[in-house]
Structure 1
Amino acid sequence: MFFAGRGRRIINSHSSSVHLAGNIPHITPTYRKEGFADVARWISLDPDNETFIYRRFNQLGARNLLYLQSELLAIEKQLDELDKNDALSDDMTLKDSARTWEILMDLYDDGNTDAKARMDLIVKLRAMLKEYHETVLLQSEILRLKRLHQRALDAYRHWFQKPYPVLGGQAKTSLDDASDLTVLNMPPETDYLSTFLRLHWPARPELSRDGLQNIGVFNESSISRAVALITIFVAAIVLIGPITSLYYATNDAAKLGLVTGFTALFALSVGLMTNARRAEIFGATAA
């Protein structure tokens, strides 16, 4: 299935020599948005949504989990101390409250200090444990987000930083650490061949819709079609090549070499032209 979007990358042409494509209307705003509004507008212009690039804040996420974990460790220690006090207490009612919820509630309603301390700790535990588990699950989802392609980041940085940062304060450093950035929407194909073609595909110089920036634009569907054609061509070679070559081979050594070569070519083509995992490549090659 072809993806009819557009890709972006920086090109080395001057905006004064570029004209908008006829199929993209150029709307001149009555005023120019500034700051966060301008950045949000630019991000939303990309039909592929590859410019939805944001910080992961991995270090802060890890630190937050450490704080929550430490709070739970403190609660765990306090509960252990209460359990120890109940076990060593001569108060049989207090001992019974350790195994019977209704008795614990009755003592709490009567204002018993030990029961109140335990109930307050239980309520705190519920809230903290819920927050901790939700944060752990959310952080695991964040860590599974894909890392962005350098092409999209270069285009974003070029627009964001020149001639001066669009945002001030600490926000102007938001794109500095590429290892901590993620993109919310990846291109439809992320195999090595598609990535290579995106970096070298002829781009049409075009002004952005605000008429201020010069961006190289290409149709994502062209990439998909090119990948499909190359894949079909290579598949035909891998399929027909061994049959033809083995037919003309005259000795066993040559036949063995041909089988080895075409097997390696098949594995290499699967690895470069598809998103297959290592186990899938191994299985396909073995078959």
Structure 2
Amino acid sequence: MSTPMSKGYDKLAALMARDPGSSIYRRFAKLNAKNLLYLQAEVAYVENELQYIIGEDGQSEEKASFPFSVWDMKTSEDPSQWEKVLEARKLLNEYNAALLQQTQLLRLNEPEKHDLEVFQAWLNEEESQNKLLFAPPDQWSRKNESDLVALYSRHEETDRFTRFVYTRVVAWFHRMVGAKGTKRKDVESGVWYYNDRTIRSSTYVFSLIVSGLLPATSMILLYFLKDPTAILITIFVYDMVFVLVMGLMVKARRVEIFAAATAFAAVQVTMITAGKSNS
């Protein structure tokens, strides 16, 4: 007996399990903020009520030991102060938990634009094929895009070049060749997948090759060039290419790029000086 094809939320769950980049959910930012505000107001009310009860109990000789003995407060014939403490404790636990959860939610990043576009395209195709909408509708629509969070981002620790390969090169490859390779297609979710590790390794090797070729070709050109103008133009062009490569292929800060570019230019000047002294 063949297994029935997944549909609807079952198929969506299969997609998210197969492609972590599709783990996109609502943050419910406004609703969470309102929940925190309501909890805060409840705690504030209970705090005021507790302070009032403490003030009232402080005027009673029978309750004079309450500030020093929790046991007397708990076992008193009128345990209203202790009951209010328990009410405050319960609310505080709920409030503190919600506060910490909100902190974690705010740290989650928005989904990558490309991942969101692919995800929305998949949703539209699934709904059009089955002629049914995911209910309630518009959970991932444009009007809620600012409220979406991604549990995983494959681009978080990658450089701009690797991100370009993910979003442009892989998409082009899929249109030209990849869509014909049925081995890459996941049967349950109905999507083609590409190994993130393979893509990162390929871009890393390419970056190594470029980083080796730049100084090597620069030294060779400067060695053979004799015209001062041509030498200066070569240094300028290579410096610009070097800075662009650093910015695109390396996750470096601006100050690090500036320092590396200065060092690269200094090496080229040293090459020229050494060449002149030997000639």
TM normalised by structure 1 equals: 0.67
Match of 1:32 in 2: 5
2:119 is the alignment partner of 1:146:
no
Structure 1 distance, partners of 2:71, 2:11, is 57
Amino acid at match of 1:175: W
Identity %: 25
* Contact 1:148–1:183 under 8 Å retained in 2: yes
Work out whether 1:111 is the aligned partner of 2:83: no
Cα deviation, residue 273, structure 1: 2.4
- Please state if 1:120 is matched with 2:83: yes
Unmatched segments (≥5 aa) in structure 1: 1-27
Residue 179 of structure 2 aligns to a residue whose secondary structure is strand
1:187-226 pair list within 5 angstroms: 187=154, 189-201=157-169, 202-203=173-174, 204-205=178-179, 208-210=185-187, 215=191, 217-226=193-202
Q: Which amino acid aligns with 1:65?
A: L
Q: Deviations over 1:3-22 (max 9, x none)?
A: xxxxxxxxxxxxxxxxxxxx
1:97 to 43, 48, 66: 66
Query: Could you say what the CA RMSD is over the residues aligned between the two structures, in angstroms?
Result: 3.9
TM-score normalised by structure 2 residue count = 0.69
Amino acid at match of 1:96: S
- The structure with higher relative contact order (CA 8 Å, sep 6+) is 1
Whole-angstrom distance in 1 between the partners of 2:50 and 2:101: 27
User: Given that residues 205 and 217 in structure 1 are in contact (C-alpha distance below 8 angstroms), is that contact kept between their aligned partners in structure 2?
Assistant: no
Q: Distance in 1 between matches of 2:114 and 2:47?
A: 48
Q: Does 1:77 align with 2:77?
A: no
Alpha-carbon separation, structure 2, partners of 1:245 and 1:73 = 75
- 1:83 & 1:156 partners in 2: Cα distance? 57
Higher helix content, 1 or 2: 2
In structure 2, what residue type is equivalent to 1:190? Answer: T
Equivalent position SS for 2:161? helix
Higher strand share: 1
1:236–1:139 CA distance, 2 compared to 1 (3 A): same
Offset of residue 217 of structure 1: 4.5
Query: Partners of 1:95 and 1:278 in 2: how far apart?
Result: 66
Give the aligned residue type for 1:82.
I
Change (3 A) 1:38 1:108: same
